[in-house]
Chains A and B, each alone.
Chain A
Amino acid sequence: MLEIILNGLVRGACYALVALGYTMVYGILGMINFAHGEVFMIGMFASVFGIGVASVLLPGYLFIALIVGFIVSILIAAGFGYANERIAYRRLRGAHLMAPLTSAIGLSIVLQNFIMLSVTKDKIDFPQAQSRFFLENQWHVCEGLTISYLQLLILGTSLVVMGALFWVIHRTRLGMAMRAVAQDRMMAQLVGVSVNKTITTTFVIGSVLASIAGVMVSMYQGVARFDSGYLMGLKAFTAAVLGGIGNIPGAVLGGFILGVTEDLTSYGVGSDWKNLTTFLILMVVLLVRPRGLLGERTANKV
């Protein structure tokens, strides 16, 4: 039982990292970033390519290759996040709500098919040479609870990254600018905040978080596919809504709750039904408490 909850927490940590990107963009723009799941998928692929290049250039240094994989993944995902904002959102910021939604969906379809056509239709493997150390070594905590180093890595990294994000948002000038833009874009502009730069930075930070989740998930599952981002995006969005979209602690909480619920469903009902459970959770939350668990009720701005 403890093991199942632990697995759920590990899964939930990844959901939470991706959900943070959704919730940040929603908080600042009031729109869903539909291409976010695709950025996560690109993070997966980029890390595998980065490790591949590093093991050609520096054969034998496994950990350096892994770190290079992380860095390449972060850089490329940040690039895609930036391009996403520039292409699909910036020019349509003043337009009707439908326009940026549609262009972002179009972009996510383009990204998915670009990877499918240029890399492969099948799955690619995450190199065992790099992940073996984390998979094979385990830490026995107590009776009936064993944590592999990879699970520790995922939980640890995501907690550190989330802590860093809270620090950035609440203690730095950039975070202050982000909160200001989220509150009132025009007012922020009037007091000298560069709105464009702040929004771009938000997209880039969200993409970096998604790519970190991507590297860890591909390491955990051992494979990456061009359509991995689709379901991940759907679930991370559910997590964000569950916690209250636009609310950063809410996204983390929602991610953990969703992960644990999914693993409990797989254990109790069968793993075929776990995606359906996610959808049911989303529907029930929207019906009962549309602002999410931690969200506050706000009036419509006219």
Chain B
Amino acid sequence: MKTRAWGSTILLGILLVAITYPFIWLKLSYEPLSGVLRAIPDFKRGFAFLSGLAPLVGSGLGIYFLFRFLKQNSFFQKKTTAVYHSYKHIRRNSFFPLILFLVFASLAFFSGPKTLNVLIMVGIYMILSLGLNVTIGMTGLLVLGYAGFFALGGYTFAILQQKIPGVTWWMAMPMACLIGAAVGGLVGLPCLRLKGDYLAIVTLGFAESFREMVRNMSGFTGGDSGLVIQAASKVQPLFGLGVKSMVYLWVLAAVFLTVIILHRLYYSPLGRAWTAIRENEIAAEAMGVPVVKMKLLAFSLSAVFAAIAGVFYTAHIGFLNPESSAFEISVLVLAMVILGGLGSIPGALLGSFLLYYIPTILRDYFPTIADYRLLLFGTIMVIMMLVRPQGLLGSKDRV
């Protein structure tokens, strides 16, 4: 590296230390009576913050060096290529998805409730990230308030079963899909005619407003305390399997269906039109692609998937409150899609598995890790964009 590059890196480092110094190493003590505020150096809290950061930095560096080592190791490379080729061979078999489904479905029979809970949540996040991938990955539109549609689906189900006793989750599903599509279209219509970044902020505003609306109309939606799902509307045990196992099976079926639908769509004329819009909107329009219509379709479709995930989530947890529309969930799903690979279906699956499963494991060893989750997701988004914008499984020519 040239000395000048080093110099600017060091300067940037010094700047970073200078601007973060007060927040890490100073402690505020406020006397409300006299109104005097003092900031005193406090190393204990600063070290506590940094030590909470340590496992994240450590595992990040560990993964980085592991990848570097594996990349240079020719023996390992030969083996992975061999495995990959045999995998490709198996994948061509048309029974492959069915076999995969059966393998995962068999987990329902001998997993404990704790494992099943994690698996169900991973499945729900997989549906969410697959749905978000339609807008972000395939069409190239940034959506920041995806949790708004997730909550919309959940609330559709929760309110329906409240008003009409005996409505089961699968009866509410078509209604949730319809409402999701309609609201998606309504929210998307004004901003999809404009440049891409308007959609990001409008959806962000939508999720926030939806949360506030649910809070304000407490007679209808239960307000802050939320709505409870009646036992009759939840997933029923079947074939001698427990409730958890049945929820898992239904979610698994939904994930598979979503994957198949999206795979077929991606290679259809519709998917080609979306890709064309992502690559160059003006060129696509010049080629005769109805840009606004296609974008609206993609956005509505992804809202539908979010609504489906919302119904599953509500049926699984049995309870729904306005926090389901929180920014945190939108960010989590966004980070999953970006980590896994924009526009890649296996990428979205891998991303949601990694980002839900790894924090769950880490939480057992480092209890404070839950607080650092969002910091991790934000860092992943920045680093992936700088280093590998196509994500883990995305191919280079696609984005």
Contacts and interface: CB of A to CB of B under 8 A. Distances in A.
Given A52-B26, A98-B140, A273-B216, A287 B15 contact: no
A290 B28 contact: no
B209 A101 contact: no
B46 A300 contact: no
A129 interface: yes
Given A117-B372, A125-B32, A102 B385 contact: yes
B231 interface: no
Contacts of B375: 109-110, 113-114, 117
Interface string A189-231: 0000000000000000000000000000000000000000011
Contacts of A283: 187, 190, 202
B209 A279 contact: yes
Given A52-B38, A55-B38, A109-B331, A290 B194 contact: yes
A282 interface: yes
Interface in A232-276: 234, 237-238, 241, 272-273, 275-276
A117 B39 CA distance: 17
Interface residues of A, number: 75
A278 B381 contact: no
Interface string B204-224: 111011001101100000000
A32 B202 contact: no
A125 B37 contact: yes
B378 A113 contact: yes
B34 to A, nearest CB: 7
B22 interface: yes
A284 to B, nearest CB: 8
Nearest to A275: B212
Interface string A14-46: 000000000000000011101000000000011
Interface string A75-99: 0100110110011100110011111
Contacts, number: 194
A37 B266 CA distance: 36
Contacts of B34: 129
Contact of B39 (A53, A59, A101, A300): A53
Nearest to B30: A125
Contact of B144 (A55, A105, A112, A130): A105
A34 B12 CA distance: 21
Contacts of B49: 117-118
A52 B374 contact: no
Contacts of B335: 106
A109 B22 CA distance: 19
Contacts of A46: 22
A54 B20 CA distance: 18
A162 B289 CA distance: 44
B35 A300 contact: no
B208 A91 contact: no
Contacts of A230: 327
Nearest to B331: A109
B379 interface: yes
Nearest to A290: B194
A282 B12 contact: no
A76 B19 contact: yes
Contacts of A52: 26, 28, 37-39
Contacts of B216: 272-273, 276
A102 B140 contact: no
Contacts of A49: 22-23, 26, 28, 39
Contacts of A4: none
Contacts of A300: 282
Interface residues of B, number: 71
A148 interface: no
B204 A234 contact: yes
Interface in B1-42: 12, 15-16, 18-20, 22-24, 26, 28, 30, 32, 34-40
B382 A106 contact: yes
A72 B200 CA distance: 32
Contacts of B194: 286, 290
B190 A286 contact: yes
B208 A275 contact: yes
A95 B52 CA distance: 34
Nearest to B45: A118
B397 interface: no
A276 B196 contact: no
B26 A279 contact: no
Interface string A105-130: 11111101111111100001101111
A39 B378 CA distance: 16
B80 to A, nearest CB: 28
B377 A109 contact: yes
B23 A114 contact: yes
Interface of A: 30-32, 34, 45-46, 48-53, 55-56, 59, 72, 76, 79-80, 82-83, 86-88, 91-92, 95-103, 105-110, 112-119, 124-125, 127-130, 132, 230-231, 234, 237-238, 241, 272-273, 275-276, 278-279, 282-283, 286-287, 290, 300, 302
27 contacts: A30-B195, A46-B22, A49-B23, A52-B37, A53-B22, A53-B26, A79-B18, A83-B12, A97-B140, A97-B195, A98-B342, A103-B382, A105-B381, A106-B377, A110-B378, A112-B374, A113-B374, A116-B371, A124-B30, A127-B30, A129-B36, A234-B201, A276-B209, A276-B216, A286-B194, A287-B190, A302-B282
The 6 closest A-B pairs by CB, nearest first: A52-B39, A106-B381, A128-B35, A109-B378, A127-B37, A129-B35
Given A32-B201, A79-B19, A283-B190, 12 more contacts: A55-B36, A87-B382, A92-B386, A101-B200, A106-B335, A106-B379, A109-B378, A109-B381, A241-B198, A273-B212, A275-B212, A302-B282
